Each structure stands twice: as structure tokens, then as C-alpha cells.
Amino acid sequence: GGGGGGHTQQSTIVQKCTTMQRIRAAFDLGSGGMKLVVARVTVEDGHVRINEVLLGEEHPVKLAVDLEASSTGELSEEIRALGLATLTGLVKKARDLGCLDDEPMPGIATAVYRKAANGPAYLEALQSTAGVRLAVVSQEEEARLGFQTAVAKVEAMDGRMPSTMVVWDSGGGSFQIVRDRTDTTSGGEKANTYLGNFAVAFATRVCVEDIQGRDFAGGASANPATLDHAEALIARLRAVLPKPLPVWAADTATVYAIGNTNSIFYLGRDVLKSTTYTAAMVKEALLKVVGQGDDTLGPAWCSLPRSDPPSLVVPKLCLLYTVMSELKIKEVQFVSAIGSCAGILRSSKYYV
């Protein structure tokens, strides 16, 4: 009760209480790497703004490649040990930057954890040893987080935010393409999604084992790959793309493609020296890399710290070209992002 005045005062106090500055961590355990972003965020009435990124790291842990090479459908002991050591090191960095015990340090686990027979048990081990709260997410949720990541990044570039965006996220074990409105955090029913349950690891195995007849499980490289090899791989990938193909992907002028330095999109940007490119340009990039060995492709395109091996170069560009050409994507714009960590930071539900 107490009349209007008191009520106004009270609601002001409540409103003040809902604005908080926090240091938050977000982990993205992908099929090709483990990623961490630690950021200073403002939480206001459920809306999260990323003010400052304190740390962003991605470490390759080739789980999907390991699983593709497995005869049992399980992740090997070696890769699991590497993953655990990597995650433990990242958690220490987050704590050193001020992430406290009073709020969970959440992380998502994606495709490879859904596919591997020992994925759930491995995740349990990671969670209890490293002290993070991990959830295996559906591919739909992975798509939503990728979309939110792109929105956060485009917002930060202070570009004019388009009312609708198409976002493409492609990793080691799967890819997602989403069209949605940018003014929603729900990834609502208006969102269109196109989900592929394979990506770079599958493309590399098909290239090495099926097309070249080399020993993928034994660690054989796809290089040198001839143009015939590349064209055969493109035909195989085209055949396994989920049908029906999304007609809406062709309707937009620009598709925002998120990823870090090991993504297929960064490789395209690197070879073409352009953050935006077309399918025809990716075909040109492919012509530049076929016929070369690891010794040439490594120094040229895999020289950054924590780079993927050169064996993935041709399969990555074949995958990029196949999806762009089949879906009639007019142009891709590379948006640098560390996994879907920004999307997780923006999603309050992971911090409850």
C-alpha cells in the first residue's frame, strides 16, 4: 500500500538491484577444440552486455578427427587425456582472472559428445575434475548460441544491426545455419535452421580413406590432394547435405560466418586475403592449395600458434565451397569469434 510515491521509490530500488557487474567465464567444448572467453559483463533485467573481454583462447583438441578414426565409436585415451589437461589449464586461467565460486562456470559440449559412445562418461569426468558445469546441447541450441554470438560481435563492431541475419557456424563435427530476427534472444519459432551433422573431420576422413585410399586411422595426410580428389570430395559432400536445402539462405545479401583461426571461414579469408568472399572465389582458393604437400601448406596456412594440421586445408575449402555453392549463398562475411562463448555469456540461463 502506502500510496503512489512509496511504490515508485521501491521499484527504483528493485531496478538498481537488477543491474550487476560481473566477471563471467564461458566454455565451449567443441569437436575440434576447447574454447574459453572470460569477460566483464553487465547484467540488467536479464539482458547481458559484454563490456570487456579479458581473455579469449581456443586450443585444438581434435576429438572429431579422433572419433572418425576410431573402430569402436569411442574417443581414444590419448585424446581424452589431452582434453582434460587442456580444460584444467583453461579453468585455472579463468579463476586467476577473478571468476569466483559464487557463480557457475558453465560450458557447452557439442557434436562429438553427442556422437561418441563414451561421450557422456568423458563429459562427467571433465566436469568433476575441472570443476565446471557442462551440458551437452542439442544442435538447435548450438545454432541459437552461434546466432547470439554473431549478434554480439556485429553489435560490437558498431555496424548497423540488420533486423534479420543469417549466421553460419561450422566446426569439427557439425555445422549450423540460422536465419532469425536480431531483436530476440529466444531464437523463436520464427527462426529458420539448417543443420548438418558432419563437418571438417568427416570431410577429411572421406578424402583420405575413401577417395585417396590412404590410412586415415594411421594418420595419413590428405596432401598432396589433386584437383580430381577435391572434385570427388565435393561430389561426396554434395550428396550427403541434408535435404531439403534451405531456399532462404540464397535470399540474403550476406551470410555472417563465425569462427576463429582454425575455422573453414578463416582459412577462406586467409587464402583470399578478404573477409568477404563468394563461392567462385573459394573455388579459386582451392586451386591455389591442391597438388601441394604438408611441407608447403603448413608454413603457408597453418603457421599460427595452435594451428590445425595442413592435412585439413583441402577438405576445409571443399566443405566451404560445397555448402556455399549448393545453398547458393551469395557472399560470406567472416566474423571472428571464439566458439559460441559470446552467445553463452549473453544467455542468462547458463548462470542460474
* Predicted confidence (pLDDT) per residue in 112-170, tens digit: 999 999 999 999 999 999 989 999 999 999 999 999 999 989 888 866 788 899 999 99
- Percent above pLDDT 90 for the chain: 82
> What is the reported pLDDT for 320?
98
Q: Integer distance in angstroms from the first to the last C-alpha of the chain?
A: 32
Question: What mean pLDDT is predicted for residues 101-122?
Answer: 92
Residue 114 exposure: Cα atoms within 13 Å on the Cβ side: 19
Give one word for 29, left, alpha or beta, with left for phi > 0 and alpha for psi -120 to 50. Answer: beta
Helix axes 119-130, 77-96, angle to 10 degrees: 30
CA-nearest of 39, 33, 94, 87 to 60 is: 33
Per the model's pLDDT, the better-predicted residue between 245 and 190 turns out to be: 245
**pLDDT confidence of 5, banded at 50, 70, 90?**
very low
Query: Does residue 4 carry a pLDDT above 60?
Result: no
| Alpha-carbon span 222 to 199, nearest angstrom | 15
Query: Does residue 15 carry a pLDDT above 70?
Result: no
Query: Does residue 227 carry a pLDDT above 80?
Result: yes
Question: What mean pLDDT is predicted for residues 284-311?
Answer: 96
> What is the reported pLDDT for 6?
43
**pLDDT confidence of 310, banded at 50, 70, 90?**
very high
- What are the C-alpha distances in Å from 218 to residues 32, 71, 143, 267, 344? 19, 12, 33, 25, 37
> What is the reported pLDDT for 157?
81
Contact criterion met (CB below 8 Å) for 142 and 62: no
Question: What mean pLDDT is predicted for residues 162-190?
Answer: 85
Question: What mean pLDDT is predicted for residues 6-34?
Answer: 73
Query: Does residue 9 carry a pLDDT above 50?
Result: no
Query: Does residue 18 carry a pLDDT above 80?
Result: no
> What is the reported pLDDT for 159?
67
Q: What is the mean pLDDT of the chain?
A: 91
Query: Does residue 173 carry a pLDDT above 60?
Result: yes
Residue 258 buriedness (CB in 10 A; 0-12 / 13-18 / 19+): buried
- CA dihedral of residues 30, 36, 37, 42 (deg, nearest 10): 90
Contact criterion met (CB below 8 Å) for 8 and 148: no
State the sign of the Cα–Cα–Cα–Cα dihedral 277, 283, 288, 293.
Answer: positive
Query: Does residue 12 carry a pLDDT above 50?
Result: no
> What is the reported pLDDT for 2?
45
The region of weakest confidence among 20-24, 129-133, 183-187, 200-204 is 183-187
**pLDDT confidence of 182, banded at 50, 70, 90?**
confident
What pTM was computed for the model?
0.90
